[in-house]
Amino acid sequence: MNAPVMAQVRRTIPEGFLDVLAQYFGDRCSMAEAVRDHHGRDESPYPPMLPDAVVFAQTVEDVVWVARHCHQHGVALIPYGVGSSLEGHLLAIQGGVSLDLSGMNRVLKVHPEDLTATVQAGVTRKQLNEALRDTGLFFPIDPGADASLGGMSATRASGTNAVRYGTMRENVMSLKVVTADGRVIETANRARKSSAGYDLTRLFVGSEGTLGIIVEVTVRLYPLPEAVSAAICNFPDLDAAVRSVIEIIQMGVPVARVEFMDASAVRATNRYSHLSLKETPLLLFEFHGSPASVREQAGQVQDITHEHGGMDFEWAEQPEDRSRLWAARHDAYFAGLQLRPGCRSSTTDVCVPISRLAECVVQTVQEMDQASFPYTIVGHVGDGNFHVLMLLDPDKPDEWAESEQLNHRLVERAIAMEGTCTGEHGVGLHKQGFMLTEHGQDALDLMAAVKTAMDPKNILNPGKVLPGAFAH
Amino acid sequence: MNAPVMAQVRRTIPEGFLDVLAQYFGDRCSMAEAVRDHHGRDESPYPPMLPDAVVFAQTVEDVVWVARHCHQHGVALIPYGVGSSLEGHLLAIQGGVSLDLSGMNRVLKVHPEDLTATVQAGVTRKQLNEALRDTGLFFPIDPGADASLGGMSATRASGTNAVRYGTMRENVMSLKVVTADGRVIETANRARKSSAGYDLTRLFVGSEGTLGIIVEVTVRLYPLPEAVSAAICNFPDLDAAVRSVIEIIQMGVPVARVEFMDASAVRATNRYSHLSLKETPLLLFEFHGSPASVREQAGQVQDITHEHGGMDFEWAEQPEDRSRLWAARHDAYFAGLQLRPGCRSSTTDVCVPISRLAECVVQTVQEMDQASFPYTIVGHVGDGNFHVLMLLDPDKPDEWAESEQLNHRLVERAIAMEGTCTGEHGVGLHKQGFMLTEHGQDALDLMAAVKTAMDPKNILNPGKVLPGAFAH
């Protein structure tokens, strides 16, 4: 069972192109099948589509060299971080060069007074937080995977902390980018705000490697909260949980995290992570602040959940309990997979205004309950963002088709509710089919015009983000 | 005394163009001198540059009609809100049509559960907050002037609340925009986050009417804080004040406002607003939250300021005292003008990383103290953003030249300190000369490519944002 890849013609690599590449980069250029295979896949359900070569960049100059060379010869160029994207972003559907930036992994500068850090694109979020250990600061964006900052910028990633700290959109201050033709630009300076011209930073954030190659990222940091506590609250049903969250947010309680898990996800997590959570729909909370403020937030949240039928309110105040709980939440994906040993998964990612969230999830559950395969639901409920993890038998092609239909109806439902086809995973290949419904012809034309202006030869991660009809 | 306007050729209006406009719009189209004069100026020090006609739009269809018509005939089109821009954004340097959107002033939808409101571009921030009166919500962005939401989006405005609530960049969720050729697009939906394609929203935010005409704005709202308090703290010098703010922010104290005023600004404010503030450098704070949280924030801030030589900590807990204090802060501009009766002013607007703020202001003060005219300094110090108000004698042309030199050196200093030539006012005409220094040739080329892609005939507010060499 595999997702179908839309037919795209692999470009012909001009004769001698790869030889020049190999000669220039030596053992930092590989055409070995295993290396190309590794770089021709991501965490999506698609089969691998191999690039013709992989180059391991170590400097901005390396990237410039590759971009110029690919630009000159019209060869596709796909920036590669750690390969954790979920929707087929990295697949070399037109062949070409995969440019692996994981070796560009130095933390360049930390400015504790300004709450900023500048890192090379290959630095991962965990690595950055490790480097910040003695500063009293942290970088909160946490998409689960230990993704690279370059990749997180390129997909406009977020995760469990976004309700309090925002997404990469809000937390990238500036980027160093190599353009399609090999020029190096800085999109902004380190001022916290600026009105000086077009917002190139946010144009590159979320562009999935199609507008430029991100080589450095300057991000905002935050003071480590003086106190942190976490709590779990069980609910009789989803609606009660969502109503609670709406009221919590309307009250202005600055929760740091509020995550929803359905009963199946809880069951899976109990088994996988050896926990004994009550197997009902539940909310997982985290509170950051001064000790008094954390107590106050928790008290307010407890009152609100209680009014909405929240059944318990269990604390995890010890760091080790909290770590265990959040590790379990992060492992919900792997836990889900264990519900059906040997399965492959397809994960959805829609986001709707929170007022429509309960309705959207309830309708989805009604449909999913008819499915021929098991599923779990988890959600960044404070943002209106949720994922359905569909557990598919790799030997039953019908299940893939069925899951695609369910995904299709879910996305259409989310868009009809003023939502989006992807809250945080990105478009890649898998969500291209929804771009027209979500944005309309004229907005896509405008995006295509921007793409053409910035990458006139369409060498940068070609065939991604914009559906085929809009690719120039 | 007036600022020099760079030479730009007024475009020839094709014969019959204005007649067709007048015929279509009737009394909503004016070619009267007084109306054109009103629309050919803003709050900048430039002399007015009149458009050939003014159209008062009432519907999106009106805007589409004008855009198509101007696009077809290559006539310049300048979107106009309330005329409160500060850097010459609205001046019709190439003539054409000023499109007045102030009549499009309906609050279209408020979604209290989602904390969003959708308004027509002509709605002002005070009008929006009036409309929100019974919802328990508010829209925090406050640039001082009662600007329109369309204009605030177009200039990426911010103001005193940005340290807590962000700028228009963070608070615009979606825009309805009429493109240069008269197509209508929605840049996003109402989901709090999305990874579905290029971030058109933030491309239009800060584009100063040069990429499209904003006709509707969807913004984030916030719960009115349960408790609010304000305080004033005097300091022996600027450095002590800034050091306090750095520490406050590093501690993660969520101050809602922290504003700096130099002794001259305080003196001017005392006279103008009949206050008796101690005439030293001071910080004005506002705290938002629950009563306990506000007390705690204030206590932390008091401790920190005390350690840094803060001399007093005076409270303004009554709403009327607070209102008076913030009204006085907002009137600092007018108060400053009174320091030199009959003067005209030139206001600067730089923003630097906060670690460089004290150094930047101190060097600026050293230069300003040598100036032949008086000045005041106020700043959104939590953002590293400050303004020098230079009070110039309209009968002394030399003073204008001197103020421009001082402004020039200040901006170069800010850019050298990793800052920006404009934190919140925008580029307009006045900051174009700094765009190359700030962004570099390659980034400006990219901005110009985006402009050309989105407005190939260069009809939208031509001659603004990008310096002449980059205008196509």
Asked, colleague to colleague, whether A107-223 and A227-428 share their fold, the answer is no
More confident residue, A230 or A315: A230
Contacts of B445 in chain A (CB under 8 A): 183
Model ipTM?
A: 0.96
CATH topology of domain B226-426: Vanillyl-alcohol Oxidase; Chain A, domain 3 (3.40.462)
Contacts of A183 in chain B (CB under 8 A): 442, 445
Q: Which residue does chain B place closest to A251, by CA atoms?
A: B223
Closest CA to B174 of B201, B199, B196: B201
Contact B424 A195 (CB under 8 A): yes
Contact B169 A193 (CB under 8 A): yes
Looking at the complex, report in whole angstroms how far the Cα of residue A26 sits from the nearest Cα belonging to chain B. Answer: 30
CB B427 within 8 A of CB B461: no
Q: Which residue does chain B place closest to A246, by CA atoms?
A: B113
The CATH architecture one would assign to domain A17-102 is: 2-Layer Sandwich (3.30)
Residue A468 has pLDDT above 60, yes or no: yes
**Structure confidence at residue B41 (pLDDT):** 94
Q: How confident is the model at residue A314 (pLDDT cuts 50, 70, 90)?
A: confident
Helix or strand holding residue B107 (H, E): strand B107-111
The Cα–Cα gap between A185 and A60 comes to 11
Question: Any residues with CB less than 8 A from the CB of B429 and at least 6 apart, and which?
Answer: B5, B6, B44, B46, B87, B88, B89, B91, B93, B463, B464
Q: Which residue does chain B place closest to A176, by CA atoms?
A: B443
Contact B156 A195 (CB under 8 A): yes
Q: Which residue does chain A place closest to B184, by CA atoms?
A: A442
Closest CA to B284 of B310, B303, B307: B310
**Structure confidence at residue B330 (pLDDT):** 86
Contact A246 B426 (CB under 8 A): no
Mind listing the pLDDT tens digit of every residue in chain B (472 residues)? 344 555 567 889 999 999 999 999 999 999 999 999 999 999 888 899 999 999 999 999 999 999 999 999 999 999 999 999 999 999 999 999 999 999 999 999 999 999 999 999 999 999 999 999 999 999 999 998 999 999 999 999 999 999 999 999 999 999 999 999 999 999 999 999 999 999 999 999 999 999 999 999 999 999 999 999 999 999 999 999 999 999 999 888 999 999 999 999 999 999 999 999 999 999 999 999 999 999 999 999 999 999 999 998 888 878 888 888 888 888 898 899 999 999 988 999 999 999 999 999 999 999 999 999 999 999 999 999 999 999 999 999 999 999 999 999 999 999 999 999 999 999 999 999 999 999 999 999 999 999 999 999 999 999 999 998 776 5
pLDDT (tens digit per residue) in A377-429:
999 999 999 999 999 999 999 999 999 999 999 999 999 999 999 999 999 99
The Cα–Cα gap between B6 and A66 comes to 41
The Cα–Cα gap between B211 and B213 comes to 7
**Structure confidence at residue A321 (pLDDT):** 86
Q: How confident is the model at residue A7 (pLDDT cuts 50, 70, 90)?
A: low
| Residue B464 token pair | 């603004």
Average pLDDT over every residue of A437-466: 97
Residue A2 has pLDDT above 80, yes or no: no
Ranges of each domain in chain B = 17-102+454-467, 107-223, 226-426
The minimal CB distance from B296 to the residues A136, A169, A290 is found for: A290
| Residue A280 token pair | 């009902």
Contact A419 B189 (CB under 8 A): yes
The Cα–Cα gap between A184 and A186 comes to 7
pLDDT (tens digit per residue) in A287-302:
999 999 999 999 999 9
* β-sheet with B77-80: strand ranges across: B29-30, B53-56, B97-100, B77-80
**Structure confidence at residue B312 (pLDDT):** 82
The Cα–Cα gap between B472 and B454 comes to 12
For residue A392, give the amino acid letter: L
The minimal CB distance from A189 to the residues B136, B419, B426 is found for: B419
**Structure confidence at residue B7 (pLDDT):** 56
The Cα–Cα gap between B464 and B208 comes to 8
Q: How confident is the model at residue A57 (pLDDT cuts 50, 70, 90)?
A: very high
The Cα–Cα gap between B73 and B181 comes to 11
The minimal CB distance from B206 to the residues A114, A195, A425 is found for: A195
- Helix/strand/coil percentages in chain B, nearest 5: 40, 20, 40
Q: Which residue does chain A place closest to B177, by CA atoms?
A: A443
Residue A328 has pLDDT above 90, yes or no: no
**Structure confidence at residue A469 (pLDDT):** 73
Q: Does domain A107-223 have CATH number 3.40.640.10?
A: no
Contacts of A221 in chain B (CB under 8 A): none
**Judging by beta carbons within 10 Å of its beta carbon (0-12, 13-18, 19+), is residue A179 exposed, middle or buried?**
buried
The CATH architecture one would assign to domain B17-102+454-467 is: 2-Layer Sandwich (3.30)
CB A155 within 8 A of CB A148: no
**Structure confidence at residue A472 (pLDDT):** 54
From the candidates B108, B177, B192, B303, which should be mutated to test the interface with A, based on the most A CB atoms within 10 A? B192
**Structure confidence at residue A313 (pLDDT):** 85
| Residue A340 token pair | 């059906």
Contact A185 B443 (CB under 8 A): yes
Looking at the complex, report in whole angstroms how far the Cα of residue A416 sits from the nearest Cα belonging to chain B. Answer: 10
The Cα–Cα gap between B71 and B179 comes to 10
Contacts of B170 in chain A (CB under 8 A): 166, 170
Look up residue B460 and give its DSSP letter: B
From the candidates A198, A219, A250, which should be mutated to test the interface with B, based on the most B CB atoms within 10 A? A198
DSSP of A37-96: HHHT--SSSSPP---SEEEE--SHHHHHHHHHHHHHHT--EEEESSS--SSSTT--TT--
CATH topology of domain A227-428: Vanillyl-alcohol Oxidase; Chain A, domain 3 (3.40.462)
Average pLDDT over every residue of A137-149: 96
The minimal CB distance from B223 to the residues A203, A250, A444 is found for: A250
Q: How far is CA A246 from CA A159, A263, A418, B223, in A?
A: 18, 21, 17, 12
Percent of chain A with pLDDT over 90: 88
CB B429 within 8 A of CB B46: yes
The Cα–Cα gap between B387 and B428 comes to 17
**Structure confidence at residue B282 (pLDDT):** 95
